[in-house]
């Protein structure tokens, strides 16, 4: 039986047995990416919606910055956050480096352009005639904006799901700012790197299966929502 097959068998045993070490990694991954997603959503959706609804002159420049942000390499983000949070950095006093807070910070920077950029696109894709019709029916400004956002809701949810898929599977940023410390900052992606290097293939494969499952669920949800949007 080769490494892969042995690893697959042992991975199944680890997952089914509810191994505490495995679950600690899974839960930390979900906590870090979950918190980062919530923060990115609270910031990104209103900003994206405002950009989608507005006609400010700087919108083109802001859009270009957002699209650039979507393509930021996670390891570069990690490097930036590391330098900011290191002892000699401007925010070193926070003492966040090599803690989940630093990981959340890095993932917020990765997720925010995705959430705001895709939200902006979703809002812009709402029929422009809808705003005129809604105003004609007697909507206040707030009601008009709310109606547009409601029409763009599926696109906004797709934005959030896409951001989740992106941050749960990145390794560069969390490795740099988290340090992959057992029991403290070790998440799915950094654990896979470590266990592969140390030959612990069964654990690496188990983690990989779980990460794949999470990414698959996120992408399946996104496709389902996009399908709902197209049907309507």
Q: Which residues, in sequence order, are CB contacts of 1 under 8 Å at separation 6+? A: 9
Q: At what angle do helices 3-17 and 201-231 cross, to 10 degrees?
A: 70
| Rounded least distance, CB 15 to other proteins, Å | 40
CB of 137 to other proteins, least distance (A): 4
DSSP string, 93-111: GG--TTSHHHHHHHHHHHH
- The answer to whether 49 contacts other proteins (rule: CB under 8 A) is no
DSSP 20-49: HHHHHHHHHHHHHHHHHHHHHHHHHHHHHH
Query: What is the contact mask toward other proteins in residues 23 to 42, using x (rule: CB under 8 A)?
Result: --------------------
Tokens linked to 5: 């097959």
Cβ distance to other proteins smaller for residue 93 or 129: 129
Binding to other proteins (CB under 8 A) within 101-160 occurs at 127, 129-130, 132-133, 135-140, 143, 147, 150-151
Alpha carbon distance 74, 109 (integer Å) = 9
Q: Residue 145 in contact with residue 74, Cβ under 8 Å? A: no
SS3 175: helix
Q: How many residues bind other proteins (CB under 8 A)?
A: 16
Displacement of CA 30 from its chain's centroid (Å): 11
CB nearer other proteins, residue 157 or residue 171 = 157
Which one, 132 or 217, has the nearer CB to other proteins?
132
In the bound state with other proteins, the residue whose beta carbon lies nearer, of 133 and 198, is: 133
**CB of 86 vs other proteins, minimal distance in Å:** 49
Closest contact distance (angstroms) between CB of 54 and other proteins is 18
Chain positions contacting other proteins, by CB under 8 A: 127, 129-130, 132-133, 135-140, 143, 147, 150-151, 232
């Amino acid at each position: 039986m080769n490494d892969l097959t042995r690893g697959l068998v042992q991975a199944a045993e680890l997952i089914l047995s509810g191994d505490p070490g495995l679950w600690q990694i899974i839960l930390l991954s979900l906590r870090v990416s979950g918190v980062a997603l919530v923060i990115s959503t609270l910031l990104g959706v209103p900003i994206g919606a405002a950009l989608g609804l507005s006609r400010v002159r700087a919108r083109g420049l802001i859009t270009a910055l957002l699209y650039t942000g979507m393509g930021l390499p996670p390891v570069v983000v990690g490097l930036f956050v590391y330098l900011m949070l290191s002892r000699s950095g401007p925010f070193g006093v926070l003492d966040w480096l090599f803690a989940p807070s630093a990981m959340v910070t890095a993932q917020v920077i990765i997720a925010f352009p995705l959430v705001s950029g895709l939200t902006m696109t979703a809002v812009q894709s709402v029929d422009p005639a809808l705003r005129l019709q809604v105003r004609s029916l007697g909507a206040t400004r707030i009601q008009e904006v709310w109606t547009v956002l409601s029409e763009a809701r599926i696109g906004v949810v797709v934005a959030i799901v896409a951001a989740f898929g992106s941050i749960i599977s990145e390794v560069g940023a969390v490795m740099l700012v988290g340090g992959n410390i057992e029991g403290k900052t070790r998440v799915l992606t950094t654990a896979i790197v470590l266990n592969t290097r140390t030959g612990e293939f069964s654990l690496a494969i188990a983690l990989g299966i779980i990460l794949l499952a999470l990414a698959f669920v996120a992408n399946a949800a996104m496709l389902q929502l996009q399908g709902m949007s197209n049907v309507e």
